[in-house]
Amino acid sequence: MLNCSQQILCTISTINPYIMMRRLCRRLWKDKFWKHLGLITLVTYFVALPLLSLRYRYTAYDKVWNKDKSHAQEILRRVNDQRIKEAQTYINAYGEMRNGLSLPQPVNIGITIITVSRNRHRLDQYEPKYLTQVVGKTLQLLNETKHLKLTYSLFICNVDDEPSSYFELQNLTKIVTTFNRFPNSSSRPLFQRSVDQTLEKEKEDYIYCGEQAFRQNVSNILLVEDDALPNEDMISVVDHHLFSMGLGKTGPHQSNITFIKLYHPDRLLGFISLEKERLPELFCLGLILTTCFVKAYLTIYPIEANHRKIIWLGFFVYSCLFVLAVGRQNFTALRRISKYLYQVTPAPSCCTPAIVYTKPGFRAISSYLKSVRCKSGFGKDTAIDKLRKLNPKLKALLIQPNLFKHIGMYSSLRDQVLDPFIV
């Protein structure tokens, strides 16, 4: 028989964390499942995902490859040239068949493109023609999308302070109703505007365009910046979701919605965020993939029931890391399969490339914008976010994935060419 001290030593040795961990590791290593999972993990994270990141952005491996920005700019220009050609072809055809057509009255959604000339050969000789692309694509979608529940009209709001030299716009005004904030004579100041002055003008332009659009007998407006290109399904998705939100009803406004964002920078749409829906999405996707992986594994390697919890836990950790590495943006893109799968969430802060405003919503936004002055670090989007914090009753939503693509490499704010990996 063991004496008391020997029993105590035996007990201590059995509960020693180091000894327990070593025994557990030996046991796990002998288990085929962990060898299989280890092999799968190595192939996934050191072969498959790094190769996947060469084709798709917003993965965890974006910074692994040394991507050539100058080469990316050349590719984006070639793509831009192709879009210009397609848009110009459609605009020419549309101009010929437009004769005799009349706009529906009243209109549920007035799509208003806010435009200003870009580059003007200050940076190089390239003509990006973003307005031509956006107008062409929008006209195409409005005319080719079937079974719409709402009515739409298209406007251009020209806020260039030297409209007489904005040559790209001149042919477009013949087929699209255009508002001009400034007279046709040159009113550009001789001195270069500061960033503060530019941001203040941008805010005033935004208010002007929204107010002009609402004077056209429209119930709601979609304010679009001229470097925000609509996706192929933009009209069908907007039509479905806005109608379901009650924005197509006539009479007094039935909705308490202030605005609905249709675009948010992709780089800000990842899982690591303060937005409430992001982490639950991560774990839900992890659970779905875990169920699929466990089912497939147990089909190939039947295992006793008492070991299945360990298998499930192992695959759950693997799946969550896999989802995180692939990126929320790439998983969210799968929702593009159908307009019914698009997600509506509370709108995060930042950025105004494409926003739908209700009439009361825009009235509240414009009233506040008129009371503040924009400056460096306090643009119109920051001011709108501040108003939302001051008045939590303002309901702002975001439809995901994005219904627009930001194509503007030439910044109208700072007269510079942007990083193509930010665009």
Peptide bond into 401 cis (omega under 30): yes
C-alpha distances out from residue 75 to 57, 131, 313, Å: 15, 20, 44
Q: Is 130's pLDDT higher than 60?
A: yes
Residue 86 CA to its chain's centroid (Å): 24
Averaged over 128-135, what is the pLDDT? 93
Averaged over 23-30, what is the pLDDT? 52
Q: Is 402's pLDDT higher than 80?
A: yes
- Taking the C-alpha atoms of residue 137 and residue 87, their distance in angstroms, rounded to an integer, is 6
Among residues 221, 219, 257, 206, the alpha carbon closest in space to that of 369 is found at 206
Neighbours of 58 (CB within 10 A): 17
Q: How confident is the model at residue 256 (pLDDT cuts 50, 70, 90)?
A: confident
The amino acid occupying position 347 is A
- Residue 25 has a pLDDT of 53
pLDDT > 90: what percent of the chain?
49
Buried b (16+ CB within 10 A) or exposed e, 262-294: bbbebeebbbeeebeebeebbeebbeebbeebb
- Residue 12 has a pLDDT of 47
Neighbours of 102 (CB within 10 A): 5
Task: Report residue 245: phi and psi, to 5°.
Answer: -85, -5
Query: What residues are paired with 153 via a beta bridge?
Result: 110
| Structural domains in the chain, sorted by start | 15-52+271-326 (no CATH), 69-269+333-417 (3.90.550.10)
Angle (nearest 5°) at CA 380 between 378 and 383? 65
Retrieve residue 135's tokens: 């107008």
Q: For the ranges 6-15, 101-110, 264-273, 408-417, which has the lowest average pLDDT?
A: 6-15
Query: What residues are paired with 156 via a beta bridge?
Result: 113, 178
* Helix axes of 4-15 and 17-30: crossing angle, nearest 10 degrees: 50
Angle (nearest 5°) at CA 104 between 103 and 109? 100
Averaged over 235-258, what is the pLDDT? 81
Burial class (CB in 10 A: 0-12, 13-18, 19+), 46: exposed
- Residue 273 has a pLDDT of 85
How does DSSP classify residue 163?
G
Among residues 44, 238, 229, the alpha carbon closest in space to that of 137 is found at 229
Segment 42-76, tens digit of pLDDT:
999 999 988 888 888 888 887 766 555 666 778 88
Q: For the ranges 52-56, 90-94, 407-411, which has the lowest average pLDDT?
A: 407-411
Q: Is 322's pLDDT higher than 50?
A: yes
Among residues 309, 320, 290, 297, the alpha carbon closest in space to that of 39 is found at 297
Between 2 and 401, name the one with better pLDDT.
401
- Residue 323 has a pLDDT of 94
Q: Is 161's pLDDT higher than 90?
A: no
Averaged over 232-253, what is the pLDDT? 84
- Taking the C-alpha atoms of residue 111 and residue 390, their distance in angstroms, rounded to an integer, is 28
What's the 3-state SS for 279-339? Answer: HHHHHHHHHHHHHHHHHHHHHHCCCCHHHHHHHHHHHHHHHHHHHHHHCHHHHHHHHHHCH
Q: Is 5's pLDDT higher than 80?
A: no
Mean pLDDT estimate for the chain? 83
pTM of the model: 0.85
Segment 190-220, tens digit of pLDDT:
446 678 888 999 999 999 999 999 999 899 9
Between 247 and 335, name the one with better pLDDT.
335
- Taking the C-alpha atoms of residue 272 and residue 278, their distance in angstroms, rounded to an integer, is 7
